[in-house]
Structure 1
Amino acid sequence: MFLAWNEIKRNKLKFSLIICILILISYLLFLLSGLAKGLINMNTEGIKKWNADAIVMNKDANQTVAQSIVDKDKVDGKYKKQATLKQTGVIASNGKDEENALMFGTEQPSFLVPKIVKGHKVHKDKEVMIDQSLANKGFKVGDQLSLSQSDVKLKVVGVTESAKYNASPVIFANNQTVAKVNPQLQGDKVNAVVVKDKKWKDKSLDSKLEAVSMDNFIEQLPGYKPQNLTLNFMITFLFIISATVIGVFLYVMTLQKKQLFGVLKAQGFTNGYLSKVVLSQTFILALIGTVIGFGLTLLTSEFLPDAVPIKLDLLTLLLFGVALIVISLLGSVFSILSIRKIDPLKAIG
Structure 2
Amino acid sequence: MFLAWNEIKRNKLKFSLIIGVLIMISYLLFLLSGLASGLMNMNREGIDKWQADAIVLNKDANQTVEQSLFNTDDIENTYKNQTTLKQSGVIVSNGNNEENALLFGVTDHSFLVPDMIEGKKFNSDNEVIADETLKDKGFKIGDKLSLSQSDENLKIVGFSESAKYNASPVLFSNNNTIQKINPSLDKSTTNAVVVKDKNWNNQSLNNNLEAIGIESFVENLPGYTAQNLTLNFMISFLFIISATVIGIFLYVITLQKTNLFGVLKAQGFTNGYLAKVVLSQTFIIAMIGTLIGLILTLITGAFLPSAVPIKFSAVTLIIYGVVLIVVSLIGSLFSILTIRKVDPLKAIG
Q: What's 1:115 paired with?
A: 115
Contact 1:108-1:122 at 8 Å conserved across structures: no
Residue identity matched to 2:207 = S
Partner-residue secondary structure (3-state), 1:185: coil
Q: In the alignment, is residue 256 of structure 1 matched against residue 261 of structure 2?
A: no
Residue identity matched to 2:313 = D
Aligned equivalents of 2:277, 2:334: Cα separation in 1: 14
Q: What's 2:142 paired with?
A: 142
Q: What's 1:200 paired with?
A: 200
Partner-residue secondary structure (3-state), 2:278: helix
Partner-residue secondary structure (3-state), 2:308: coil
Partner-residue secondary structure (3-state), 2:50: coil
Aligned equivalents of 1:189, 1:265: Cα separation in 2: 82
Give deviations 1:289-308, integer Å, cap 9, x for gaps: 00111111111111111121
Aligned equivalents of 1:108, 1:300: Cα separation in 2: 42
Q: What's 1:67 paired with?
A: 67
Aligned equivalents of 2:247, 2:70: Cα separation in 1: 58
Gaps of 5+ in 2: none
Q: What's 1:4 paired with?
A: 4
Aligned residues: 349
Q: What's 1:272 paired with?
A: 272
Partner-residue secondary structure (3-state), 1:103: strand
Aligned equivalents of 1:229, 1:209: Cα separation in 2: 30
Q: What's 1:291 paired with?
A: 291
Aligned equivalents of 2:256, 2:71: Cα separation in 1: 76
Give the deviation of 1:75 after TM superposition. Answer: 1.2
Give the stretch that moved more between structures: 280-289 or 72-81: 72-81
Give deviations 1:182-233, integer Å, cap 9, x for gaps: 1110112110000000001111111111111111111111111111111111
Aligned equivalents of 1:155, 1:224: Cα separation in 2: 31
Partner-residue secondary structure (3-state), 1:159: strand
Aligned equivalents of 1:140, 1:199: Cα separation in 2: 41
Aligned equivalents of 2:86, 2:334: Cα separation in 1: 60
Runs of 4+ in 1 over 2 A off after TM superposition: none
Give the deviation of 1:34 after TM superposition. Answer: 0.6
* Cα RMSD (Å): 0.7
Q: In the alignment, is residue 216 of structure 1 matched against residue 216 of structure 2?
A: yes
Aligned equivalents of 1:117, 1:164: Cα separation in 2: 15
Contact 1:23-1:290 at 8 Å conserved across structures: yes
Aligned equivalents of 1:298, 1:75: Cα separation in 2: 48
Aligned equivalents of 2:312, 2:66: Cα separation in 1: 31
Equivalent positions of 1:1-349 (< 5 A) are: 1-349=1-349
TM-score by length of 1: 0.99
Partner-residue secondary structure (3-state), 1:14: helix
Aligned equivalents of 2:254, 2:218: Cα separation in 1: 49
Give the deviation of 1:57 after TM superposition. Answer: 0.6
Aligned equivalents of 1:15, 1:108: Cα separation in 2: 64
Give the deviation of 1:166 after TM superposition. Answer: 0.4
Residue identity matched to 1:159 = F
Gaps of 5+ in 1: none
TM-score by length of 2: 0.99
Give deviations 1:279-323, integer Å, cap 9, x for gaps: 000000000000111111111111111121101011011000000
Partner-residue secondary structure (3-state), 2:184: helix
Residue identity matched to 1:234 = M
Give the deviation of 1:79 after TM superposition. Answer: 0.5
The alignment-based identity, stated in percent, is 69
Residue identity matched to 2:55 = I
Aligned equivalents of 1:225, 1:298: Cα separation in 2: 26
